[in-house]
Amino acid sequence: MTLPGSDVLVSAHELSAPQRLALEACVIAASNLSTAEGEARAKLDVLLESHGRYLRAHGPGAGALRFGAFRRGLSGPLEELLPGGRVPKDLQGLTLLDAEGRASAALLQLAFEELPLRSASGLDVDVQHLRSVMRAVSKYRPGTPLARLSPEIVQHSLVMALMAAGQEQYVAGRERLILAPVQKRRAVARLPQVLRQLCVYTEIPADRSFLGWCARCPFCQWTMHAFPDRDGGATFRCAWQEHRDRGAEFGMLITNARPHLTFSGELRVNLPQPLLAEEHLALSYGLWLWITLPGLFEVALRDKLLGLGADVELWPFGDAYDLHVSKGGQTWRLDAKVWKDTHGLAESLRAKETSVPRMFIVIPDHLKSYVGLLEGIVGPLGWHVLTEGQLLAQVAAA
């Protein structure tokens, strides 16, 4: 399984050590403020501790904000909270909390993908959910601090539980999480036992519904975030920037107790049908980010290869890699990657085990400019990098 690159973190590796310390403090404080969980005194203690870390990151006489201004600043531009020097362009203009004090998409991505939140008492519900999933499959003992919630942990959690049910159940269960990240309650009740035990489908939170209604992104089918406006309606946007760029942004008005969705921009895609939030359950943010998004590329690639007459097996040999493809006496062992953060991708490939020979790393065509960089990393392992188009051409010619 592959972690898709974050729109927020494509340049996070460029932060200086003081900037990263300040960013961690801000993310912990914002996570704490954005949730109703936790006892008031404990939440205040976390905020004070976070402010202390923020002050230490800035150093004496560096113009750090006092506590009240620091708290208000969590709803302002992120670069105004970080100490000295240049802030990467991709982080400029982001806010951790919206005007109503709710977690922004940037905060969720930073909390999940990059920063340790081991000292935050009021973590986002999705983080709490992932910890309960991990405990359910016994990878970690209850109460074990997690320095970082990584894609490998989520993958291990699901692989351990699903593989115990056999390869066929594993493939079917994982494909369901990819293609159906939102389910009706009664459908969830009929899921295979292993998925019900993991509780992968949860209540749709308030920030992804408006007056009891939600809507699915036409590309990933996950519930979009809802942003109420001053006119009594709301704007629904997918949390994934690439999908927003393709038109996954809509307006919603409710008249006579019925919702009506409209297009917000110039792009016209399939207009989603409004759904009653109370009648549906959805994957948590982390499972959507780490299972659904990369899986869409893997499943679509499988379908295209089948259309070329190839034999294709998804996640073979205990998920040793993503696709095993055979045609005309030739074999391709494929690991599909959809990261936008090529530096993060490079680091993950350097750490990858070399137990699978003659592996092909396949990336979307729009990342073709990085083929040379990635070849330099995986070449010594005996692996090669192909764009999706190059792979399909090879299989078609076999």
In SS3 terms, 252-305 reads as EEEECCEEEEEECCCCCCCCCCCEEHHHEEEECHHHHHHHHHHHHHHHHHHHHH
Residue 359: inside a domain, yes or no?
yes
pLDDT digits (tens, 9 = 90+) for 113-141: 555 444 333 334 444 444 444 343 333 33
Residue 223: inside a domain, yes or no?
yes
pLDDT at 76 over 70: yes
Residue 256: inside a domain, yes or no?
yes
HSE of 309, CA atoms in CB hemisphere, 13 A: 10
| Same structural domain, 275 and 232 | yes
Domain hosting 110: range is 12-122
The span from the CA of 134 to the CA of 305, in Å, is 34
| Same structural domain, 223 and 306 | no
- What's the full length of the chain, in residues? 398
Q: How many structural domains comprise the chain? A: 3
3-state secondary structure 126-184: HHHHHHHHHHHCCCCCCCCCCCCCCHHHHHHHHHHHHHCCCHHHHHHHHHHHHHCCEEE
Dihedral, CA atoms, 185, 189, 191, 193, nearest 10 degrees? 140
Helix runs in 59-96, H state only: 67-73
The span from the CA of 209 to the CA of 206, in Å, is 5
Q: What angle do CA 268, 289, 17 make, to 5 degrees?
A: 115
Residue 275: inside a domain, yes or no?
yes
| Same structural domain, 18 and 117 | yes
pLDDT digits (tens, 9 = 90+) for 222-241: 999 999 888 888 999 998 88
| Same structural domain, 301 and 392 | yes
Q: What per-residue confidence (pLDDT) applies to 362?
A: 94
| Same structural domain, 256 and 353 | no
| Same structural domain, 314 and 276 | no
Residue 158: inside a domain, yes or no?
no
| Same structural domain, 273 and 321 | no
pLDDT at 275 over 90: yes
| Same structural domain, 245 and 323 | no
Q: What per-residue confidence (pLDDT) applies to 345?
A: 62
Question: How much is the average pLDDT of 3-14?
Answer: 45
Please report which confidence band the pLDDT of residue 288 belongs to, taking 50, 70 and 90 as the band edges.
confident
Q: What per-residue confidence (pLDDT) applies to 35?
A: 65
Mean pLDDT, the chain, whole residue set = 78
Q: What per-residue confidence (pLDDT) applies to 71?
A: 92
| Same structural domain, 235 and 309 | no
Question: How much is the average pLDDT of 315-327?
Answer: 88
pLDDT at 388 over 90: yes
| Same structural domain, 277 and 299 | no
Do 323 and 336 form a contact (C-beta atoms < 8 A)? yes
Nearest to 112 by CA among 165, 148, 143, 80: 148
pLDDT at 56 over 90: no
Residue 320: inside a domain, yes or no?
yes
Residue 338: inside a domain, yes or no?
yes
Please report which confidence band the pLDDT of residue 87 belongs to, taking 50, 70 and 90 as the band edges.
confident
Question: How much is the average pLDDT of 259-283?
Answer: 89
| Same structural domain, 252 and 314 | no
Helix axes 167-179, 293-307, angle to 10 degrees: 110
pLDDT digits (tens, 9 = 90+) for 348-383: 565 555 556 678 999 999 888 888 888 887 787 788
Please report which confidence band the pLDDT of residue 153 belongs to, taking 50, 70 and 90 as the band edges.
low
Last residue of a domain, one of 260, 283, 306: 283
Do 78 and 94 form a contact (C-beta atoms < 8 A)? yes
Partner residues linked to 203 by β-bridges: 281
Encoded amino acid at 226, one letter = A
At 336, which CATH number? 3.40.1350
357 versus 193: which is more confidently predicted?
A: 193
CA–CA distances in Å: residue 383 to residues 4, 334, 353, 377: 21, 10, 12, 9
Q: How far is CA 191 from the centre of its chain?
A: 23
Residue 317: inside a domain, yes or no?
yes
Q: What per-residue confidence (pLDDT) applies to 358?
A: 77
Q: What per-residue confidence (pLDDT) applies to 248?
A: 92
pLDDT digits (tens, 9 = 90+) for 23-47: 888 888 887 787 655 556 667 777 8
Last residue of a domain, one of 222, 257, 283: 283
The span from the CA of 58 to the CA of 142, in Å, is 35
Neighbours of 129 (CB within 10 A): 19
| Same structural domain, 242 and 207 | yes
Share of the chain above pLDDT 90, in %: 31
Q: What per-residue confidence (pLDDT) applies to 157?
A: 62
Nearest to 392 by CA among 302, 300, 305: 305
Last residue of a domain, one of 283, 302, 321: 283
pLDDT at 108 over 90: no
Q: What per-residue confidence (pLDDT) applies to 24?
A: 83
